[in-house]
Structure 1
Amino acid sequence: MTPAMDAPDDDITRHSALEDAMALLLGTAAMALGIAMFQHAGLLAGGTAGLAFLLHYASGLPFGPVFFAINLPFYWLAWRHLGHAFTLKTFAAVALLSIETETLPRLVGFAQLQPLYAALMGGTLIGMGMLALFRHQASIGGVGIVAIVLQEKRGWRAGTLQMALDCSIVALAFAVVAPTQVLLSVAGAVALNLVLAINHRPGRYVAR
């Protein structure tokens, strides 16, 4: 089963395979840039990316492989409730983002990046990337999967739910980074989830 929509199937404009591929590539590319900004400023994101950041900062392990591994348990939930197409596209998106976050530092560097700007713009880029994935029936796993399942099953807004979960995860960062970085990370989480809360609502977008 794919995420439920209000319109009948006959009225739904379905995305082509090329459109889905472009959304996955561009969406994860935007997210990778946002994550690079967070890393440069020593900030954290929410969701499984936030957990990967915590392990990355605490242990020195590379972000990409840690992020990929953390998402593995969530694919069962996606397969059961959101269908094989969603799960496979989500797996592809997570793999792409894991590769891109490890590759991007070789292509892009920041000579100057103000931390508050990094938080707000980085969070916005990550949110826009997630929105692109959501609208093509994919996500970056973890909390995103849980949020989509609850939106489709209970009618809860994915963006609002994810904002609450993300801020809770970011709060755990007090044990790893300075309080200033945590507060800036919360600002980034709010920016990210405002993009989703405003633009990702049940029934608003009916393409698949």
Structure 2
Amino acid sequence: MEGEMTMSSPAGKGLAHTLKDDVYGMVLGVMFIAVGLNLLKCSGMITGGIAGIALLLAHVSSLPIGLLFFLANLPFLVFSYFTMGRAFMLKTLVVNLALSAATQGVPLLLTVSYIHPLFSALVGGTFLGMGVLSLARHNASVGGVGVVTLWLQRRAGINAGKSQMLLDVLVFVLSLLTLPLSLLLWSTLSALAMNAMLMNWHKPGRYQGN
């Protein structure tokens, strides 16, 4: 609603976010992503982006997945510092720490005895997209290739959802080496659901808040 009101303003400029806005938006983003990841995990699926990269590394390493996620994110955090600014990088770092804790905490609060792969793929992927979108609206991200897609959208006007999908394709192609085809197809559906959120809602000029 705020975005629609902003676009209709005479000046065409968005209202700056307050600290409360940013904190609330980031909490919502972390919550959506944590739930979405656990829904996919219940069905044994992977996902795109940095999480998919970390899962691939887990197949060739004995390190904990949380540590692999952080290590895989390091070069992207450096990239975000130089391309998106210090504030963006710090927010992304905080998001990563909070997301690691939230992802571990969700199973303690929510027990799923059965989940159909279709529901897991569509709802889990959509929740991931909502989370990424919420973070992006408040100048933050989970890091990884998401930083690259946001930078490409700001620098070259390339839709974040479309570039994210192209990068996800590379992750899924590599996943062919370790995942059964049926599980890979369900995982692909989850990535499509996630990126559909970004392609439809994360468009240049639709939302101008800072």
* 182, 188, 191: which one aligns with 1:186: 188
Identity %: 38
Paired with 1:55 and 1:76, the residues of 2 have a C-alpha distance of 20
Which amino acid is 1:203 matched to? G
C-alpha RMSD over aligned residues: 2.0
1:109 alignment counterpart: 111
Q: Does 1:25 align with 2:27?
A: yes
2:71 alignment counterpart: 69
**1:107-134 CA-partner distances (Å, limit 9, x unpaired):** 2221010012101110000000000000
1:97 alignment counterpart: 99
1:156 alignment counterpart: 158
Distance 1:57 1:34, change over 3 A: farther
2:37 alignment counterpart: 35
What SS does structure 2 have at the residue aligned with 1:53?
A: helix
Distance 1:60 1:105, change over 3 A: farther
1:3 alignment counterpart: none
Distance 1:167 1:176, change over 3 A: same
2:49 alignment counterpart: 47
1:88 positional shift: 0.9
> Given that residues 34 and 123 in structure 1 are in contact (C-alpha distance below 8 angstroms), is that contact kept between their aligned partners in structure 2?
yes
1:138 alignment counterpart: 140
1:195 alignment counterpart: 197
Which amino acid is 1:116 matched to? L
Is 51-60 or 35-44 further displaced after alignment?
A: 51-60
- Equivalent pairs counted in the alignment come to 202
1:60 positional shift: 6.0
Structure 2 gap ranges (5+): 1-6
1:59 positional shift: 4.6
Distance 1:40 1:62, change over 3 A: farther
Paired with 1:25 and 1:98, the residues of 2 have a C-alpha distance of 13
Q: TM-score, normalised by structure 2?
A: 0.90
1:40 positional shift: 1.0
Paired with 2:130 and 2:77, the residues of 1 have a C-alpha distance of 22
Paired with 2:120 and 2:195, the residues of 1 have a C-alpha distance of 15
Distance 1:33 1:202, change over 3 A: same
> Given that residues 68 and 98 in structure 1 are in contact (C-alpha distance below 8 angstroms), is that contact kept between their aligned partners in structure 2?
no
> Given that residues 14 and 207 in structure 2 are in contact (C-alpha distance below 8 angstroms), is that contact kept between their aligned partners in structure 1?
no
Which amino acid is 2:129 matched to? G
**1:154-204 CA-partner distances (Å, limit 9, x unpaired):** 111011100111122122212222111111111100000000000001111
* 12, 19, 27: which one aligns with 2:14: 12
> Given that residues 65 and 98 in structure 1 are in contact (C-alpha distance below 8 angstroms), is that contact kept between their aligned partners in structure 2?
no
Distance 1:64 1:108, change over 3 A: farther
Q: TM-score, normalised by structure 1?
A: 0.90
